[in-house]
Amino acid sequence: MPVGTVGTVKAITKHHLIETKPQIILGNTYHLYLRPGMEVLKHFNGLHNFMNWNKPILTDSGGFQVFSLAKGKEKTGKHKAEVVLTDDGVKFRSHIDGSWHYFTPELVIEIQEIIGSDIMMPLDVCPPYPVSKTTALDAVKKTIDWLKRSKNAKRQNHQALFGIIQGSTYKDLRKESALMTVELDMDGYSIGGLSVGEPAEYMYEMTEIVVEYIPKRKPRYLMGVGTPENIIESVDRGVDMFDCVMPTRNARNGTLFTHRGRLNINAGKHKFSDEPIDEECDCYTCKNFSRGYIRHLYNAGEITAMILGTIHNLRFYNKMMEDIRKAISESRFSSFKNEFLEKLKSD
């Protein structure tokens, strides 16, 4: 899921975004609540209409942002975000203007109802890594309590609600959280609290523990992940859905993904290259421009560079997911995985 935090996927137009063939995009409740705000989204009858997007939208609850932004200042903001966690919800200070707000599970569902999300995430507690077991257990308990309240809150009939499984890197807490969440019979299940700084081995281990308890008929969503390698390995462990800012953020910084590993387009060796970014890619950028030209745009600080890089990275990710689905349907995922990962190391 390409990440469109505030109602747009960064550095790409809707036309080119659609050409990268995403099935769904992601927005963020915290950011949309603060800006443009609920009055604006009500006026425009929801986010789909506001941004003229007729495909599905998943919205994160904003819980992760509330806690992560409390650690420091947003790059363009003047205010340090602060957070106060209670049994009933979370009080936080806006990173934009310093104003105080209070999220409860019910309010977060109400906000997402106004947004018109096709898939909602409930308010949860996402602890950092590393964290004590006591803190991780408290996060599990609050997340479950808030999920029960979220499930009882009013939402539109078409809006699916996922449960979020927490537990940090503690095996017994992950199992306990998974069992309690699945017992509530949600529309789908999210694996949260990973990709927050822990080693990849821990992420894979916790994922394996959790998916064992999630019904196969329900979608499994690993939140905030990740690199092509992370995605391939997690699919192998039973995960269906992913989101990450990596393809768009890296594109803006000149790091482009290819079937033979990451490409630093700013490197001098590409100055005279007439090759496309990736010969196996069918995106607009690769079909029309050389590495040498794209490198020139990045070095000149042209906005077009970020647009072309973003088009490529998003198409690379979406094509990878298409290839994964095709390999699974043809019962050859294992060989596909090995070939894909081996090729990434080849350059």
Residue whose pair of structure tokens reads 């859905």 in the numeric block: 241
Which one of the listed residues 60, 88, 172, 187 is annotated catalytic?
Answer: 60
Residue whose pair of structure tokens reads 């036309």 in the numeric block: 15
- Estimate to the nearest angstrom the gap between the alpha carbon of 228 and the chain centroid: 13
Pairing of strands 90-93, 100-103: antiparallel
> 243 catalytic, yes or no?
yes
At position 29, the amino acid (one-letter code) is: T
Contacts of 151 (CB under 8 A, 6+ apart): 122, 161, 184, 186
Which one of the listed residues 97, 243, 278, 282 is annotated catalytic?
Answer: 243
CA nearest neighbour of 103 among 137, 67, 71, 151: 67
Show the DSSP H helices in the chain as ranges.
14-19, 29-34, 38-43, 47-51, 63-68, 105-115, 133-152, 171-183, 200-211, 228-236, 246-252, 284-288, 291-299, 303-329, 333-344
| Upper half-sphere CA count for residue 225 (Cβ side, 13 Å) | 29
> 60 catalytic, yes or no?
yes
CB 92 within 8 A of CB 66: yes
Angle at the Cα of 312 (from 308 to 317), degrees rounded to 5? Answer: 150
CA distance linking residue 138 with residue 142, whole number of Å: 6
At position 217, the amino acid (one-letter code) is: R
CA distance linking residue 180 with residue 209, whole number of Å: 14
Residues with a known catalytic role: 60, 243
